[in-house]
Chain A
Amino acid sequence: MVDISYPICERILPNGLRVIVSQDRTVPSVTVNLWVKVGSRDEVPGRTGFAHLFEHLMFQGSANVASGEHFSALMAVGGRLNATTWFDRTNYFETVPKGAMELALWLEADRHSRLLEALTQENLDNQRDVVKEEKRQRYDNAPYGHALRDVYATLFPEGHPYHHPTIGSMEDLEAATLEDVHAFYTRHYGPNNSVLTLVGDVSPEEGFAAVEKYFGPLPPSAVPREEGRMPPLPPLAGPVRLERVESVPNDRLYIAFRLPADATPEFHAVGLALDAIGGLSSSRLVEHLVRQDQVVTGLTAHPMGFAGGVSLGLISADVSAGVDPSEVERAICAELERFAETGPTEIELESAISETERAWLSALASHDDRADHISHYAALHDDPAYINTFLNQLRSVSAEHVRAAAARYLTPSSRAVVAYLVAHDDQAEASDAKDASDASDAEMIVEESA
Chain B
Amino acid sequence: MTAIPPRARMPVPEALARPNVVAPQPYSLPTPTRFRLSNGAKGLAYDLPGQYVLSVRMAIPMPLRVEPREVEGVATIMARTLDEGTARHTSVAFARLLERRGVAIGCGVGDSGLSVELDVAKHNLAYGLDLLRQCLAEPAFPEDEVARQIATRLAEIEQERSVASHRAAAEFAATFFDPDARAARPVGGTADTVAAISREAVVAFHARHVAPAEATVVVAGDLAGLDVVSEVEATLGQWQTPAGYLSPGPWQPTLLAEDRARIVVVDRPGSVQTELMVGAPGPDRHHPKGWAPYPLLGFLVGGSPTARIDTVLREDKGYTYGIRSTFRPRRRGGIFVTAGSVRSEVSSDALRLLLDVLDGGRDGFTSDEVDQAAQFLVLTAPSRYATADTIADEAASLSYDGLDTEFTSRNLGEVARMDADRAGAAYREFVDGRWTVVLVGDAAGFVADVRALGRGDVTVVPN
Q: Which residues of A contact B (CB under 8 A)?
A: 1-2, 4, 24, 26-29, 31, 44-47, 59, 63-64, 67-68, 71-72, 75-80, 95, 97-100, 102-103, 106, 109-110, 113-114, 116, 125-130, 132-134, 136-138, 140-143, 179-180, 182-184, 186-187, 190, 213-214, 217-221, 223, 247-250, 280-282, 287, 290-291, 294, 297-298, 318, 320-321, 347, 350-351, 354-358, 361-362, 365-368, 429
Could you say which residues of chain B place their CB within 8 Å of the CB of A136?
272-273, 341, 343
Known A137-B273, A141-B164, A217-B13; judge A357-B3 contact (CB<8 A): no
On chain A, the residues within 8 Å of B13 by CB distance are 217-218
**Cβ of B19 to closest chain A Cβ, rounded Å:** 4
B315 touches A126 (CB 8 A): yes
A77 lies within 8 A of B375 (CB): yes
Given contacts A78-B378, A429-B270, 19 further A-B contacts (CB under 8 A): A2-B52, A4-B52, A28-B27, A46-B2, A76-B375, A77-B375, A103-B19, A136-B343, A141-B273, A143-B159, A183-B6, A217-B13, A217-B16, A249-B162, A350-B100, A354-B102, A355-B104, A365-B53, A367-B386
Q: Which residues of B contact A77 (CB under 8 A)?
A: 21, 375, 379
Are B121 and A358 touching (Cβ within 8 A)? Answer: yes
Q: Is there a chain A Cβ closer than 8 Å to B243's Cβ?
A: no
Distance of A58 Cα from B95 Cα, bound (Å): 46
A26 touches B121 (CB 8 A): no
Report whether B18 and A106 are in contact in the complex, using a CB–CB cutoff of 8 Å: yes
- Cα separation A59 to B382 with both chains bound (whole Å): 25
CB distance from A57 to the nearest CB of B (A): 13
B436-453 vs A: 1/0 string, CB under 8 Å? 000000000000000000
B23–A99 CB distance below 8 A? yes
Q: Cβ of B53 and Cβ of A213 under 8 Å apart? A: no
Contact with A along B174-214 (1 / 0, CB 8 A): 00000000000000000000000000000000000000000
State how many angstroms separate the Cβ of A385 from the closest Cβ of chain B: 18
- Asked if B372 lies at the interface with its beta carbon under 8 angstroms from chain A, I say yes
**Segment at the A interface, from B35-43, B71-79, B316-324, B328-336:** B316-324
Q: Per-position contact with A for B9-23: 1 when CB-CB < 8 Å, else 0? A: 111110110111111
Interface size on B, residues (CB 8 A): 93
Offer 6 A-B interface pairs, CB within 8 angstroms, sorted by A. A45-B1, A75-B304, A249-B158, A291-B91, A320-B155, A354-B99
Residues of B within 8 A of A110 (CB): 15
Specify which chain B residues have a CB less than 8 angstroms from the CB of A75 in the assembled complex: 304, 306, 372, 375-376
Complex contacts, B387 vs chain A, CB 8 Å: 365-366
B96 at interface, CB cutoff 8 A: yes
B51 interfacial contact with A, CB 8 Å: yes
Assess whether B1 is in contact with A282, with CB atoms less than 8 Å apart: no
> Which of A4, A80, A180 has the most chain B CB atoms closer than 10 A to its own CB?
A80
> What is the CB-to-nearest-CB distance from A224 to chain B, in angstroms, rounded to a whole number?
13
- Of B7, B20, B272, the residue contacting A141 (CB under 8 A) is B272
Please state if A321 and B155 are interface contacts (CB–CB under 8 Å).
yes
- CB nearest to B385 among chain A residues: A27
**A133-B319, A134-B321, A320-B151 given; A46·B3 CB < 8 A:** yes
Neighbouring B residues of A248 by C-beta, 8 Å: 162
| B409 lies within 8 A of chain A by Cβ | no
* Residue on B nearest A27 in the bound complex, by CB: B386
In the complex with contacts A26-B386, A46-B1, A59-B305, A78-B92 CB distance below 8 A: no
* Contact among A76, A214, A247, A351 for B96, CB-based, below 8 A: A351
Of B99, B272, B316, B382, which contacts A27 at CB under 8 A?
A: B382
Q: How far is the CA of A268 from the CA of B315 in the complex (A)?
A: 43
Query: Which of chain B's residues have a CB closer than 8 A to the CB of A31?
Result: 383
In this assembly, does B161 line the interface, its C-beta being within 8 Å of a C-beta of chain A? yes
Q: How far is the CA of A128 from the CA of B317 in the complex (A)?
A: 11
B353 CB, min distance to chain A CBs, angstroms: 15
Residues of A within 8 A of B92 (CB): 282, 287, 291
Query: How far apart are the CA atoms of A281 and B92 in the complex, in Å?
Result: 8
Docked-complex contact B100 and A354, CB < 8 angstroms: yes
A102: nearest chain-B partner, CB-CB = B19
With both chains docked as a complex, state the minimum distance between the C-beta of A36 and any C-beta of chain B, in angstroms: 15
**Would you call B252 an interface residue if the criterion is a C-beta within 8 Å of the partner chain's C-beta atoms?**
no
Contact A137 B341 (CB under 8 A): yes
CA A362 – CA B11 in complex, angstroms?
43
Tell yes or no: B122 within 8 A of A by CB. Answer: yes
Within the complex, the shortest CB–CB distance from A194 to chain B, in Å, comes to 15
| Of the residues A98, A129, A182, A321, contact of B24 by C-beta under 8 Å | A98
Interface string of B148-171 (1 = CB under 8 A from A): 100110111011011110000000
User: Within the complex, which residue of B24, B123, B389 is in contact with A365, where a contact is CB–CB below 8 Å?
Assistant: B389
B271 within 8 A of A: yes
A40 to B275, CA, bound (A): 29
Q: How far is the CA of A250 from the CA of B144 in the complex (A)?
A: 22
Ranked 6 nearest A-B pairs via Cβ: A78-B379, A129-B318, A99-B22, A354-B102, A46-B1, A249-B158
Give the distance in Å from the alpha carbon of A1 to the alpha carbon of B122 in the complex. Answer: 9
Q: How far is the CB of B351 from chain A (nearest CB, A)?
A: 15
A213 to B3, CA, bound (A): 35
| B25: A residues at CB distance < 8 A | 28
Residues of chain B in range 81-105 having any CB-CB distance to chain A below 8 Å: 91-92, 95-96, 98-104
Query: Quick check: B98 and A281 within 8 Å, CB to CB?
Result: yes
CB within 8 A of B151: which of A186, A297, A365?
A297
Q: Which A residue sits closest to B24, measured CB to CB?
A: A97
Distance (whole angstroms) from the CB of A314 to the closest CB of chain B: 18
Contacting residues, chain A, for B4 (C-beta < 8 A)? 44, 47, 180, 183-184, 187
Neighbour of B102 across the interface among A68, A138, A294, A358, CB < 8 A: A358
B301 on the A face (CB < 8 A): no
Check: B5 CB closer than 8 A to any chain A CB: yes
User: How far apart sit A183 and B384, CA to CA, in the bound complex (Å)?
Assistant: 38
A182 vs B7: C-alpha distance when bound (angstroms): 9
With beta carbons under 8 angstroms apart, the residue of A71, A125, A361 that contacts B304 is A71
Chain B 42-79 interface mask (CB, 8 Å, partner A; 1/0): 00000011111100000000000000000000000000
Question: Closest chain A residue to B6 by CB distance?
Answer: A183
Which listed residue (A64, A180, A367) contacts B383, Cβ 8 A?
A367
Give chain B nearest CB distance to A371 CB in angstroms.
12
State the CA gap A110–B12 with chains docked (Å): 10
Which one of B1, B52, B383 lies within 8 Å of A80 (CB-CB)?
B383
Give bound CA distance, A218 to B10, whole Å.
9
Contact between chains at A355 and B50 (CB < 8 Å):
no
Q: Which of B23, B154, B383: most chain A Cβ within 10 A?
A: B383
Q: Taking the complex as formed, is B314 at the interface, i.e. its CB lies under 8 A from any CB of chain A?
A: yes
**How many angstroms from the CA of A351 to the CA of B22 in the assembled complex?**
47
Please name the residue on chain A nearest to B48 by beta carbon. A26
A250 and B159: CB pair below 8 A? yes
B 334-377 contacts with A by CB, 8 A: 341-343, 371-372, 375-376
CB <8 Å contact, A357 and B121:
yes
Q: Given the complex of chains A and B, what is the CA–CA distance between A68 and B307 in angstroms?
A: 10
User: Does B119 sit within 8 A of A, measured CB to CB?
Assistant: yes
Chain B residue at minimal CB-CB distance from A214: B16
Structural contact, A130 and B341, CB atoms closer than 8 A: no
A-side contacts of B383, CB under 8 Å: 27, 29, 31, 80, 95, 366-368
Evaluate contact between B9 and A351: CB separation under 8 angstroms.
no
Among B16, B50, B98, B152, the residue within 8 A (CB) of A298 is B152
State in angstroms the CA–CA spacing of A26 and B386 once bound together: 8
Tell me, yes or no, whether B292 is within 8 Å of chain A by CB.
no
Question: Are B123 and A1 closer than 8 Å at their CB atoms?
Answer: yes
Please report the C-alpha to C-alpha distance between residue A116 and residue B9 in the assembled complex, in whole angstroms.
10
Closest to B97 in A: A282
User: Quick one: given A28-B382, A130-B314, A365-B389, are A219 and B12 in contact (CB under 8 Å)?
Assistant: yes
Shortest distance in angstroms between A425's beta carbon and chain B's nearest beta carbon? 15
* A49 CB → nearest B CB, Å: 14
- C-alpha gap A180/B11 in the complex (Å): 19
Cα A100 to Cα B376 with chains together (Å): 12
Q: How far is the CA of A186 from the CA of B10 in the complex (A)?
A: 9
Which of A1, A109, A250 has a CB less than 8 Å from the CB of B158?
A250
